[in-house]
Structure 1
């Protein structure tokens, strides 16, 4: 097979349907290679991106994989012809870096591995371990997708929070209800496997070639459910509604994990404890599992502070973003809702940036602790919402934190969430402010054309009372700079809703190159909560990485 890059297709040749895309791509390949239609057996898109650098010439750029009638001999002949007319640029034999799950282990081990957390890292770690025949136990404090969705809907409607099953906790982790963006700045042979696994579980096949793939929060619950069922079919066991309450650590001859204590409530609502002997414990909890961080600290597991970010959600009309990004092509069905990615650097060495931008999306109520307001964003698969929203954040560096408590970042997050709860007047109403008022240092008293989508409602006021001044001043100084990158970002009635504190973990569970805790044998820190990932793809990749390292350690 051959891979062909830099295939250019104008927007007007597409209509947003896969059939038209397939025909247009085939036509473009035939034109590029100057071959007969009968010689082209198949065309498979491998990458698709939008080039909107010139608003008068917005187009798609593809990489395609093709198969020719005549196989390898025909491919060699075609490459020779292309070289003869100096047209071989961007055409090369297909090469894929192989990736596979660990081979079946084949022997019995003393105790099966236990994976704590069924977010992306935990799911893919457990899937890999199950494929190796190790029959892992996967433990998740939240509920399955159906019951979790009901708990979230109940909270949005009533303000009654379930601290164990919410936007943060439950099957699929926080990513299940944050759009399901799969773009990543990292490269790994595992990425194609992860995407194919998601497609096999029900995600759109377009994520295999879209440069900025996403699944959608309406599709992800079903997807993660299918992955869970696959783990069980391979011999894994899953306990939902079950949390890690303690971890046994022996000090002789050196610190190592010996057991894990799990808690769940029975049919009568009574708390039931279960202690399980364990030699290998994967901690793949999310960034909101603060009780796990405290437990690890109390068991003398080495932790360290790390940089994290806090700020607000910013909402604009999606139509404004579309016009700014796509010019006269805004609203074209092939383009969909436009995303953006922004960063602004200030003279004081601080920066602000967009995060988890959700085209056509909604701001969600992401609290997991009583008395604290937390925001995040999500989009459904069609991204058809009226507003665009994004995290608008600035970094908190370890040097910004007082004292030497390794969990000082957690306490700062919690304090800001409590201040936001108070500023909203209780009942998980969120504080909000218009961009114009924020820039002028004036509390807002009413909204404008951009209607906030936060489901518990907002209370207009001054969001600066909820965040450290170095955060709010960085955001304030960055808005004009970002407006030069995205015209309209500084729109007067754009809405800032606070607070966004859970973009990443403020703690790292220190591990070595072998993926094991540097202090406690048998403990495998994994994923975003442990400080080794930042999104669905990197978390899933880290889950696979840790599983491979664990299997290798048993050989």
Structure 2
């Protein structure tokens, strides 16, 4: 099979144009039959007056050798179709493996184990998807927070209420990435995620996909249990022996995977009490910023911004500040919403979310500033958690102590004053937001970096420094504040206990967490 890269076509091209372009590039002059499959699709918008769609395609054709020998044909190579292969099919385990958490890491660890006959048990502290959605909707309407069923906790993990981005920078010679995407498609995601350069499925598709993965695990003999919070570990001679659920029920196993999320702070404390080795790690905090999506589209696409063949525009921005901090955009949600992602009483935290169509009025993104253990120097390994809580509590109070989110116009944030009204940009939280001064909700060095970053980003995206842009705070859960130490075999200092995914400090998004879950499934069955 041949792979042809850099097929560039105008925005309004038709499908037959791809076929004809392949014929031209491969110099096929006769009626030789061939078929092709798109393996990558991206947008080249560097020239605003000539935006192109760029394809990579795999081609089945006779006489491949003749084409490869033609030195005039560029960007073509010989490839073979490969799939992910589980390496440990014949390993026996003494007990059914237990997975704590049903986020991407836990689900894909469980799926791989179930597909290979290991009958995993997944324990999720929160509720099933449908019940969880009802609890989140109830929180929006009544401000009554469920600390076990919210945007952070429940089936699918925190990523369920997000933009559903499926891209990652993790190198992947073992095809775990491909395995994850193929499973998403099999479970209901659009097939385009297999070849889009920046694939996403939105929170609406993601909810359906997560439920289908759960059902697949159960069909393969696994168990998925909700409202099952692991409150303690059973340890015998530095080896794991089982778990205690809801301070009552015991389940024995010598293989336990810690696929907890980055907000499982009470579980972090439990692990510390059980002498599990944990270390502080850097993370980032900041705010969400909202602009009109049309402004971002115009800035990125120029006069072509209304072309229906263009995806909703996004951005990725970074800046090194004078105070030595880095400020950057994170989890950018085109045509999305800012949401209240609180999970603890008397604290508020924001996140971003989009549906598949990304058709809401505003674009939003986190603007984050890196913080390090030097910013929370206490000896306690959970000092980063205390640091997060401090700013979440201040945000809660700044907005009226009623679970509203504090919001502020960009110009007022820059000038250290409370906004008296919103302007042209309406906060997507609307009735669940209160005007406040976000300078009071974050460290001064974070605020200084964000202000400098907004000015720098305005030079990259015209209009980013819009006076009426809305800031919401605080964003503190971009990644875990701890890392649970694991060795080259993926085990913690307790034999048989496998830290995994984002909460354990080894991933940063849906795809990297899912891939880490697959790696841990391989490690669990390698002995």
Partner of 2:158: 174
Partner of 1:94: 79
Partner of 1:422: 397
Provide, for residues 406-431 of structure 1, a one-character-per-residue CA deviation record: whole Å limited to 9, x for no partner.
10111111111111111111221111
Of residues 117, 131, 139, the one that matches 1:155 is 139
Of residues 36, 40, 64, the one that matches 2:57 is 64
Aligned pairs for 1:499-518 within 5 A:
499-517=474-492
SS at match of 1:354: strand
Quickly say closer, same or farther: Cα 1:329–1:419, change in 2 above 3 A: same
**8 A Cα contact 1:435 1:495, kept in partner:** yes
Give me the TM-score of the superposition, normalised by structure 2.
0.97
Quickly say closer, same or farther: Cα 1:34–1:104, change in 2 above 3 A: same
SS at match of 1:405: coil
Q: What's the offset of the Cα at 1:37?
A: 8.1
Give me the TM-score of the superposition, normalised by structure 1.
0.92
Of residues 362, 365, 378, the one that matches 1:387 is 362
**8 A Cα contact 2:125 2:153, kept in partner:** yes
The 4+ residue runs of structure 1 with deviation greater than 4 A are none
Superposition CA RMSD, Å = 1.4
Provide, for residues 125-176 of structure 1, a one-character-per-residue CA deviation record: whole Å limited to 9, x for no partner.
0111112211110111111111111111111111111111111111111111
Partner of 1:30: 23
**8 A Cα contact 1:101 1:131, kept in partner:** no
Of residues 498, 501, 522, the one that matches 1:524 is 498
Partner of 1:269: none
Provide, for residues 472-491 of structure 1, a one-character-per-residue CA deviation record: whole Å limited to 9, x for no partner.
11111111111111111100
Give unpaired runs (5+ residues) of structure 1.
Answer: 14-19, 264-271
Aligned pairs for 1:329-478 within 5 A:
329-454=304-429, 457-478=432-453
Of residues 491, 507, 511, the one that matches 1:533 is 507
Provide, for residues 9-45 of structure 1, a one-character-per-residue CA deviation record: whole Å limited to 9, x for no partner.
11122xxxxxx4x433223212222325853432111
1:121 is aligned to 2:69? no
SS at match of 2:6: strand
The CA distance in 1 between the partners of 2:135 and 2:30, in whole Å, is: 54
Aligned pairs for 1:128-277 within 5 A:
128-188=112-172, 189-250=175-236, 252=237, 255-263=238-246, 273-277=248-252
Q: Which moved more, 1:439-448 or 1:317-326?
A: 439-448
The CA distance in 2 between the partners of 1:135 and 1:287, in whole Å, is: 26
Provide, for residues 496-544 of structure 1, a one-character-per-residue CA deviation record: whole Å limited to 9, x for no partner.
0001111100000011121111x21111000000000000110000000
1:77 is aligned to 2:52? no
**8 A Cα contact 1:373 1:428, kept in partner:** yes
Q: Which moved more, 1:303-312 or 1:423-432?
A: 423-432
Partner of 1:6: 6
The CA distance in 2 between the partners of 1:54 and 1:281, in whole Å, is: 52
Quickly say closer, same or farther: Cα 1:105–1:143, change in 2 above 3 A: farther
Alignment length (residue pairs): 525
SS at match of 2:202: coil
**8 A Cα contact 1:527 1:543, kept in partner:** yes
The CA distance in 1 between the partners of 2:360 and 2:153, in whole Å, is: 25
**8 A Cα contact 2:286 2:475, kept in partner:** yes
